[in-house]
A = this chain, B = another copy of it.
Amino acid sequence: MGAVKTKRMPRAVREQQMLDAAVQIFGRRGYMAASMDEIAELAGVSKPLVYLYLNSKEDLFTACIRREATALTDAVRAGVRGELPADRQLWEGLQAFFAHTAEHPHAWSVLHLQARTHGEPFAAEVAAMREEIVAFVTRLVAAAAREAHRDPDLPEREVAGLAEALVGAAESLAAWANATPHVTARQAAATMMNFAWSGLGNLMAGHPWTPPADEA
């Protein structure tokens, strides 16, 4: 019974280290160019161990998408105090979203870009996360409409469309913010509120944008 030289770690801990390394490499190099050698090296383990634990490059990538999608939705949920008015909830949610995507740029690249550009199975994983975020925003917009007592004037379909637009805008802005030097998460969140809430706020107050009269 000699001393065990190899540092022993629980499998769960090792797996997280592999996923940490994989997210970085997938985010930096792109899915196609990412090499399992580089991922193993960055994780400080042998390549066979990566295959033993995560099975294949595809499965490793899927595990990355799932972990990072959960981390992002958890961060947004945790950032929002449900008892606040809808605009404050949106502001908190956007701050949490942009803070998380700024702190984890490789993870955001995996979710927003890599997962959507390498085939339907990966795209479906990220679509599930997106649906959850759209549902959250839909509830917020509907709550804002209720707060403004405008329920009957804002049909369910309009609420759904606004939520889709808001999520698309935030996704696009997060990618831009990460690619543009010196844009802080708070600035991006404020730009998004400027863009979205003042518009939604007007709408809730019964001041929609109206098409020019000469088109009627």
* Contact B32–A162 (Cβ < 8 Å): no
* Contact B176–A172 (Cβ < 8 Å): no
* Contact A165–B183 (Cβ < 8 Å): no
* Contact A198–B202 (Cβ < 8 Å): yes
Query: A interface, by DSSP: helix, strand, loop or mixed?
Result: helix
Distance to closest chain B CB from A182 (angstroms): 8
* Contact B203–A194 (Cβ < 8 Å): yes
**Which residue among A164, A165, A201, A208 has the maximum number of chain B CB atoms within 10 Å of its CB?**
A165
Q: Is A117 positioned at the interface, with any CB of B under 8 Å from its CB?
A: yes
Q: Is A180 positioned at the interface, with any CB of B under 8 Å from its CB?
A: yes
Give every chain B residue within 8 A of A168 (Cβ-Cβ). Answer: 168-173
Q: Is A80 positioned at the interface, with any CB of B under 8 Å from its CB?
A: no
Give every chain B residue within 8 A of A201 (Cβ-Cβ). Answer: 199, 209
Number of interface residues of A (CB under 8 A): 53
Chain B binder among A39-47, A65-73, A153-161: A153-161
Give every chain B residue within 8 A of A188 (Cβ-Cβ). Answer: 161
Provide the bound-state CA to CA distance between A199 and B123, in Å: 31
Q: Is A197 positioned at the interface, with any CB of B under 8 Å from its CB?
A: yes
Q: Is A146 positioned at the interface, with any CB of B under 8 Å from its CB?
A: no
* Contact A91–B212 (Cβ < 8 Å): yes
